[in-house]
Structure 1
Amino acid sequence: MIDESERAVRAAMDAELLLLDPEVRASPARVSELLDPEFTEFGASGRRWDAESVLTVTSGATVSPESPVEVTEMTGVVLAPGIVHLTYFADNRGRRAWRSSLWRLTGTGWRLYFHQATPVPSGIA
């Protein structure tokens, strides 16, 4: 039987994978449903993003159906009721990064509150 913590982690993982889906990324409306209004990201480029800036670049240019983001080693843990921390390794056409996300449960479902990507040079796992 799946307990509440496992359900929360699975819901956050499913939402994270949706955000990496090229069809979802191409739709600002769908991305908006998954981002918390207070969303912040420190990207692999070193740039700081908020929900508004992410929505202006959701044209699908960063994730294509021909070369989707490869995700491995995804794990999650409930930090507090309604707060899930995910970590995973992502490879987007050779741009490799360790990623960390904080998801929080809101009245409209799970939303990404914080995300950070740390670049990983070739040759380093």
Structure 2
Amino acid sequence: MSDMDLDHILRELAAREPIFHRREFGTSRADLERMTDSNFWQIGASGKVYQRGYAIETSLARYEKGPEPHDWPCRDFTITVLADRLFLLSYILEEPQRVTRHSTIWRRTDEGWKIVFHQGTATG
């Protein structure tokens, strides 16, 4: 894989972060199921582990409330190739009350990008 290809993948995945907060990629149950691997799980900034079903239900409830309270600004993206069609994307998320470092493992499939794993960690 060339650096140019990796730069393109970095831009493509960065546009999808933070996951579940970019409504342009879909807000229905079918959209969320399509974008998450069947074995998806995440570790929240609190350290709690959440499975796919919880992440989907929480996102659906948030989407019903209307627009996001802020624009979820992200910065300092990095990407690492983990295996064929498997990538680790890391970045910093600046929320109004805290700053967190996030990592998402993305898999490129024939159906599109799928989220395999996600973790958010408070930075201070």
Match of 1:66 among 43, 48, 69: 69
Residue 102 and residue 53 in structure 1: after superposition, are their counterparts in 2 closer, same or farther (change >3 A)?
A: same
Deviation at 1:47, TM superposition (A): 1.4
Residue 72 and residue 97 in structure 1: after superposition, are their counterparts in 2 closer, same or farther (change >3 A)?
A: same
- Which has the higher mean CA deviation after the structures are superposed, 40-49 or 5-14? 5-14
Gaps of 5+ in 2: none
One-letter amino acid of the counterpart of residue 101, structure 1: T
Residue 35 and residue 114 in structure 1: after superposition, are their counterparts in 2 closer, same or farther (change >3 A)?
A: same
What TM-score, normalized to structure 1?
0.78
Helix, strand or coil for the counterpart of 2:92? strand
Gaps of 5+ in 1: none
Quote the Cα distance in structure 1 between the aligned partners of 2:74 and 2:40: 22
What TM-score, normalized to structure 2?
0.78
Residue 49 and residue 63 in structure 1: after superposition, are their counterparts in 2 closer, same or farther (change >3 A)?
A: farther
CA RMSD of aligned residues (A): 2.7
Identical counterparts, % of pairs: 23
Deviation at 1:84, TM superposition (A): 1.1
